[in-house]
Structure 1
Amino acid sequence: MPTSTPTPTTRRRLGYLAGRTLPADLHDWVVHDITGTGATRRYVIRCLVPLVPVLAGLLFVPGPWLIRISMVLLLFLPFVYFLLALKNVYLRHRLVSHGLDPKLLDKHRQLRIDEEREEYESRYRLAP
């Protein structure tokens, strides 16, 4: 029977989303959350959800629609730009705050690079 990674309770998960650290027995879950498949999608969603009410509120400011949409875009576009630009910095901080190695963030990328290199070498390298 395969062993499954323990997951945090709802209360602990909400605390984690608010920036708190999880206990050491949940570090495997934290590593998977930060470096696993879909980590970027989860990161973007977690950061954009609190912004949606603010942007929706700006649509109720009196004035022409062009001004309202411009206000929303003036906040949304730079926010998303910096959100993605600083993704690695924030995720490394999350790993360090849990007492984990920040190099874990590059684990999946390095595995992909190694696989691509092996495929390239097997395809284009001459046999000795």
Structure 2
Amino acid sequence: MSERSTPTLPQRVAYIYGRTLPPSMREWVLRDLTGPGATRRYLLRVLVPILPVLALFLLVPGPLWMGLSMAALLYLPLIYFTIALTYVFRRNRLLRHDLDPALADAGARAKEEVQRADYERRHGRG
């Protein structure tokens, strides 16, 4: 039996919650963490599952705005730190799957290289 190259549903759920996938799925992990939509997937995986927990604040007796305010006091910093730590998270996940952590920002580096080459071409360097 050949090893799977994509995770099953239980493996995917475990991966979302931090578990490392088998080595046969490294290419899938690489595409997940560095491919198109990687940042969006990361943000959704962190920010959406917490919403039902925060909705429990709506059960607090009192006006609706009070429950919403308490939830917002937790959710807004979560959004901020989730965005701020995206790069760190992706590097860590790449390391845990025995992949090069420098791949986390390969797209940004490629874009900078194109801009640099264009600059040097326009200004007579290179």
**What range is the shorter-chain TM-score in?**
0.7 to 0.9
1:34-70 alpha-carbon deviations (Å, 9 max, x no partner): 1111111000000012211112111121111221221
Alignment match, 1:89: 88
CA distance in 2, matches of 1:67, 1:31: 43
TM-score of the aligned structures, taking structure 1 as reference length: 0.85
CA distance in 2, matches of 1:63, 1:120: 60
1:60-107 alpha-carbon deviations (Å, 9 max, x no partner): 211112212211110111111111111222211111111111111121
Q: Is it true that 1:63 corresponds to 2:32 in the alignment?
A: no
- Coordinate RMSD, CA, aligned: 1.7
Unaligned runs of 5+ in 2: none
Percent identical across equivalent pairs? Answer: 47
Helix, strand or coil for the counterpart of 2:30? helix
Unaligned runs of 5+ in 1: 1-5
TM-score of the aligned structures, taking structure 2 as reference length: 0.87
Number of aligned residue pairs: give it: 122
